[in-house]
Amino acid sequence: MLIRKPTDIKPSDITAESVFLNRRTLLRSAGFLGASTLLPQAHAADEEIPAKYKRLTGVRPSPLSTKDAPNRFDEISGYNNFYEFGTDKADPAAESGRFRPQPWKVKIDGEAGITGTFDYDSIVKPHALEERIYRFRCVEAWSMVIPWVGIPLGEVLKRYNPTSKARYVAFETVVRPAEMPGQKYPILDWPYVEGLTMAEAMHPLTLLVVGVYGVELPNQNGAPLRLIVPWKYGFKSIKSLVRISFREKQPPTTWNISAPDEYGFYANVNPAVDHPRWSQASERRVSSGVGSLFASRQPTLPFNGYAAQVASLYKGLDLARNF
């Protein structure tokens, strides 16, 4: 079905906020730092983080981090796509104060040996938290570098014993229009839904995120649980998760439902494939530098710079047709 959109949304505002690899191969791949060098870089802006955000404990640095310097906390938390709170980039920070991320439960269902509804602690607490500095690329051609805190999604998923029929993993965002004012309008067909292949979901780079900059996730960044799939456009990294489903068939995804000619299921960062309304060949890094919110444009990297780690997932797949 076609989804109605308010007339005040500019084209430039529309975003589609979406194989197992040997971990040793990942660690040897170019572009990652040794763990001992990460924390000073990622935590350089501690004094800029408002005291209301709870500091996460027991977080270990990850060797899967990029060398790029992270964005400031205020940039990460103040410039967001999260249509559940509004279509303007400032809306999520301004409109998410009523949202209550605790207590929190997630439904696990589908092709798995263990299903049911589980609370936040039962999902998160059995795992050690890692801090990973990842590049984040939006389909609108802006980007950031963000020190996420989370758990490899595959470590979580395997605890529910997915069956041999589980070829895909589907995800769903919470629906609370009283707390998420954007859901009062038919901007999209709520709830927001996304999906990955099982190989993508189990890949070591795919992260179930609980924090940023060493603190709990701000509401506007997808509290309390979200995904980060760093080689894909930002809309694949679904926020405020309340359901994870193991599926045999490819699940529907929100932006593919809304605009199938613009947003495909795979959504891999591919500078050779333009969005129908703008080029993806270059990007602007969000910056608080003098004169502009954005730094100068830079070339977009295939798979957002993670090609060495993930390109083999798509061997034989036409990435122009399967965008």
CATH of residue 148:
3.90.420.10
Output the CA–CA distances (angstroms, integers) from residue 210 to 74, 203, 217, 245, 320, in the order listed.
18, 18, 6, 19, 33
Asked whether the beta carbons of 201 and 276 are under 8 A apart, the reply is: no
Domain count for the chain, please give it: 1
Domain assignment present for 260: yes
SS3 91: helix
Q: Which residues contact 70 (CB under 8 A, 6 or more apart)?
A: 41, 42, 44, 45, 76, 133, 145, 146, 147, 213
Mean pLDDT of 268-278: 95
Is 90 exceeded by the pLDDT of residue 106? yes
- For residues 88-104, give the mean pLDDT: 97
**Is residue 5 in some structural domain?**
no
Tens-digit pLDDT profile for residues 171-186: 999 999 999 999 999 9
Cα–Cα distance, 210 to 296 (Å, whole number)? 31
CA angle 119–120–124, rounded 5-degree value? 125
pLDDT computed for residue 4 by the predictor: 40
- Can you give the C-alpha Rg of the chain in angstroms? 18
319 in a domain, yes or no?
A: no
Q: Which domain holds residue 138?
A: 11-314
264 domain residue, yes or no:
yes
Query: For residue 185, what pLDDT is reported?
Result: 97
Q: Are 194 and 170 in contact (CB under 8 A)?
A: yes
Question: 233 forms bridges with which residues in the sheet?
Answer: 137
Q: Token digits for 3?
A: 């989804």
Provide the token pair at 58.
């027991």
